[in-house]
Amino acid sequence: MRAAVRHVVMCAFVLVMIYPLIWMVVSSVKPGNLVLSEPGLTPSEVTFQNYRDGWNALDEPFSLFFLNSLLVSVGSIVGNLVSCSLAAYALARLEFRGRKLYFAITLVSVMLPLHVLVVPQYIFFSQLDMVNTYFPLLLPKFLATDAFFTFLMVQFIRTIPRELDAAAWVDGAGPFRIYWSIVLPLMKPALVTAAIFTFIWTWNDFFTPLIYLTSTEMFTVPVALNSMMSSETANGVGALFAMSLLSLLPVLVFFVTAQKYLIRGISTTGLK
C-alpha cells in the first residue's frame, strides 16, 4: 500500500518534470495562432506547417545547419578520442618525470572557466583569419583540452590489469604497440562514453559558435535557433518550437540507446 502511494507521488512528480517537454511537442503541431491561446494538450487542429515554415525560416534551410552541427560534432569526437586517449595512456601507464604534475594540471583545468581564455583565443584566431571557420571550434579538441575526458580515460585505464601490458612487453611490444593493440581495445567503454558526451556537449554548445561563426551558412543549429528567435517570424513560436524539437532529437536518440554509458560517465566523473 505504502509502495503504491509512493509510486503515485513519484509518477506525478515525473509528469510535472516532463510536462514542459510534452507541451513543446504538442505545441509544435498546433497551427501558429493556437500555440499560445490553447495551452492544453489536445490541439483542436494538427498541422505540420510549423515544421515547413521553420525549416526555411532563415536564409539557408535547416538541413544545412544540421549538417554543420554534425560536421563539428563528429570532428570534435575524433579529436577528443585521439588526443585524450593518447594523453591518458601516458598519464596512467608510462613512467616519466612530471607525470604527477601533468595529472594535477588536468584536474585543475577541469575547473578553469572557459571565459578566462576566450578573449585571447578569439584574438589569436582572428589574427590567423580563422573567425567564421570551424578551426576555433575543432582545434582545441585535437589538443586534449577537454580535461574531463582525459581524466575519465586515466581512471578507466587504471582498472585494466597491468599484467596484460607486462605480457606484451615480454613479447617485445613497445609502448605504442601496447597502446594500440592492448589498451585501446580494452578501453572501448570509456571511449564510447567520451564520444557520446563529446557529441552532446558539442551539439548543444552555444557560446563558442556564437562568438566565432558570423555568417548564416556557417551556423550550427543552436546559433541558427538563436538567430531565428531574434528575427521573430509571423507564426514564430510554433515554428521555433518545431525546429527546437528537431534539434533535441539526436540527443534523445543517445538518451534512449546509450543510457548505460551516460550513467557510467556521470557516476564516475560527474559529467553533466
Partner 1 sequence: MTQETLVRPVAQSPPVPARRRRPPSFRRQGGAAHVFLLPFLLGLVFVTAVPLLASLYLSFTDYDLLHDPELIGLENFQRMVSDERFWASVGVTLRYVLVSVPLQLAFALLLAVVLDKGMRGLALYRSAFYLPSLLGSSVAVAILWRQLFGHEGLVNGVLGWFGVEGESWLQNPDTALSTLVVLNVWTFGSPMIIFLAGLRQIPEELYEAARVDGAGKVRQFWSVTVPLLTPIVFFNLVLQTIGAFQAFTQAHIISGGQGGPLDSTLFYTLYLYQQGFQSFNMGYASAMAWVLLVVIGIVTAAHFLLSKYWVFYGDER
Q: Which of 50, 53, 222, 261 binds partner 1 (CB under 8 A)?
A: 222
- Cβ proximity to partner 1: between 46 and 230 the closer is 230
Kindly tell me the burial class for residue 151, based on how many C-beta atoms sit within 10 Å of its own C-beta (0-12, 13-18, 19 or more).
buried
Map the footprint of partner 1 across residues 14-53, applying CB under 8 A: 14, 17-21, 23-24, 27, 36-37, 39-40
- Cβ proximity to partner 1: between 46 and 120 the closer is 120
- Asked if residue 187 lies in contact with residue 203, where contact means CB atoms within 8 angstroms, the answer is no
- Check residue 76 for interaction with partner 1 (CB under 8 A): no
The alpha-helical segments, DSSP class H, found in the chain are: 2-28, 49-55, 62-93, 99-110, 114-127, 135-138, 147-157, 162-170, 175-178, 184-186, 188-204, 207-212, 221-230, 236-257, 259-269
Kindly tell me the burial class for residue 156, based on how many C-beta atoms sit within 10 Å of its own C-beta (0-12, 13-18, 19 or more).
buried
- Cβ proximity to partner 1: between 56 and 159 the closer is 159
- Check residue 245 for interaction with partner 1 (CB under 8 A): yes
Q: Which of 59, 104, 158, 167 binds partner 1 (CB under 8 A)?
A: 158
- Check residue 10 for interaction with partner 1 (CB under 8 A): yes
- Check residue 125 for interaction with partner 1 (CB under 8 A): no
Min dist CB 217 to partner 1, Å, is 19
- Check residue 132 for interaction with partner 1 (CB under 8 A): no
- Rounded to whole angstroms, the Cα distance separating 255 from 72 reads 20
Whole-angstrom Cα Rg for the chain: 23
- Check residue 185 for interaction with partner 1 (CB under 8 A): no
Q: Which of 3, 5, 46, 234 binds partner 1 (CB under 8 A)?
A: 3
Map the footprint of partner 1 across residues 198-217, applying CB under 8 A: 200, 204, 206-207, 210-211
- Check residue 186 for interaction with partner 1 (CB under 8 A): no
- Asked if residue 68 lies in contact with residue 216, where contact means CB atoms within 8 angstroms, the answer is no
- Rounded to whole angstroms, the Cα distance separating 121 from 134 reads 14
Min dist CB 134 to partner 1, Å, is 16
Contacts of residue 64, defined as CB under 8 A and 6 or more positions apart, other chains included, come to: 217, 219
Min dist CB 188 to partner 1, Å, is 16
- Check residue 168 for interaction with partner 1 (CB under 8 A): no
- Check residue 139 for interaction with partner 1 (CB under 8 A): yes
- Check residue 102 for interaction with partner 1 (CB under 8 A): yes
Min dist CB 215 to partner 1, Å, is 16
- Check residue 100 for interaction with partner 1 (CB under 8 A): no
Kindly tell me the burial class for residue 232, based on how many C-beta atoms sit within 10 Å of its own C-beta (0-12, 13-18, 19 or more).
exposed
Kindly tell me the burial class for residue 207, based on how many C-beta atoms sit within 10 Å of its own C-beta (0-12, 13-18, 19 or more).
exposed
The C-alpha cell 528537431 sits at 246
